[in-house]
Amino acid sequence: MIKRAALIGLGTMGPGIAARLSRGGLDVAAYDVSDVAVERASGMLDIAGAILDRLDIKAPASGAGTVRFVRTLAETVDGAELVIENVPENIDIKAETYRAIDPLIGSSVIVASDTSGIPITKLQAHISHPERLVGMHWSNPPHIIPMIEVIGGEKTAPETVATIRDLIRSIGLLPVVVKKDVPGFVENRVLYALLREALDLVERGVIEPEDLDTCVSWGIGYKVAVIGPMALLDMAGLDIYKSVSSFLNADLSNRDDVAPMVLEKTGLSKFGIKSGEGMFSYTPEQIKALQGERARKLVAVRRILEGQE
């Protein structure tokens, strides 16, 4: 079983991934080109560790692993059996990272990309052992959400997919194997279908943004956490779905460009929480409070869903 991992890229996702892997018993060498990111990541480790305690996630009998911040790529991948690439969602940056690690790793080392949706087959063009490249798509925040998508590209060896699936399972997480390398995989395809319709409804003035969130969170989200879409079809009745979808599907948004509202806001540098304004406005105090409140609620919901409370 894999014991030593290298993690490249310590932005939004990196610190939580490092914390979760080490709690699962792995020794992680962590690297980022930015000193600021490394400093922030090292501060985040304790916060993520405290959340893992609240989730009652225990280290294996052999003990927790370690997280070591290192300063060069060569040190990062040295001795690693698994390299997790977690650099920005940009194929050029990812390709450059693969080219840089290629001469530093042996042919048996698995390289897993946390890409949110770039087909793994496209990434495989940039690495000399494509059979060892696999998608390992964590969900944000990665130390709290237990599901991880595992995706093989055209050239990924079945054993590579199986090794990552088994590793995820062995540290108490939920692997979901995506059988075809479709853009966005499954989680983001479903999420983006929902977001496209939600933005369209707000844009057309059908509903206010706050009310849209209330409708989806309490009407759908809360229920879907307990009953997934396939099970929901059975609960509602396929006959009902057949009759509603026969007229409703044709009326749903099928636009294939970016919603004008999003283009307008991004053009004004309104990116959301990170810039203090997006769909809603936030003061720095509100941001801090929201982050704490969301983590607390996600932990509480997960404990209930796992039957811990």
Which of 156, 112, 170, 157 has the alpha carbon at shortest distance from 137? Answer: 112
Task: Report whether 120 contacts 134 (CB < 8 A).
Answer: yes
- Cβ closest to ligand NAD, residue 116 vs residue 156: 116
Burial call 223-250: b when 16+ CB within 10 Å, e when fewer: eeeeeeeeeeeeeeeeeeeeeeeeeeee
Residues 6+ apart with CB under 8 A from 276: 282, 283, 284, 287
Query: Which listed residue (20, 25, 133, 138) binds ligand NAD by CB under 6 A?
Result: 138
- Does 295 bind ligand NAD (CB under 6 A)? Our answer is no
Is 116 near ligand NAD (CB under 6 A)?
yes
x/- letters, 45..84, toward ligand NAD (CB under 6 A): ----------------------------------------
Beta carbon nearer to ligand NAD, 35 or 251: 35
28 binds ligand NAD (CB under 6 A): no
Question: Closer to ligand NAD at the Cβ: 37 or 161?
Answer: 37
Quick check: 18 binds ligand NAD (CB under 6 A)? Answer: no
Q: List the one residue from 5, 18, 24, 115 that touches ligand NAD (CB under 6 A).
A: 115
Residue nearer to ligand NAD on the CB measure, 16 or 130: 16
Of 13 and 57, which CB lies nearer to ligand NAD in the complex structure?
A: 13
Chosen residue from 4, 12, 165, 259 binding ligand NAD by CB under 6 A? 12
Whole-angstrom Cα distance, residue 238 to residue 258?
32
Residues contacting ligand NAD: total by CB under 6 A: 24
Residue 291 is a binding residue for ligand NAD (CB under 6 A): no
Residue 10, marked binder: yes
- 20-273-41 Cα angle (round to 5): 30
| Least CB distance to ligand NAD at residue 165 (A) | 18
Would you count residue 33 as binding ligand NAD (CB under 6 A)? yes
| Phi, psi dihedrals of residue 97, rounded to the nearest 5° | -65, -45
14 marked among binding-site residues:
yes
Q: Is 191 in the site for ligand NAD (CB under 6 A)?
A: no
- List 1, 93, 195, 304, residue binding ligand NAD (CB under 6 A): 93
Q: Of 87, 168, 198, 199, which lies in the binding site for ligand NAD, with binding defined by CB under 6 A?
A: 87
Which residues in this chain contact ligand NAD in the complex, by CB under 6 A? Answer: 8-14, 31-34, 37, 86-89, 93, 97, 114-116, 137-138, 140
Q: Binding site membership for NAD(+): which residues?
A: 9-14, 32, 89, 94, 116, 140, 274
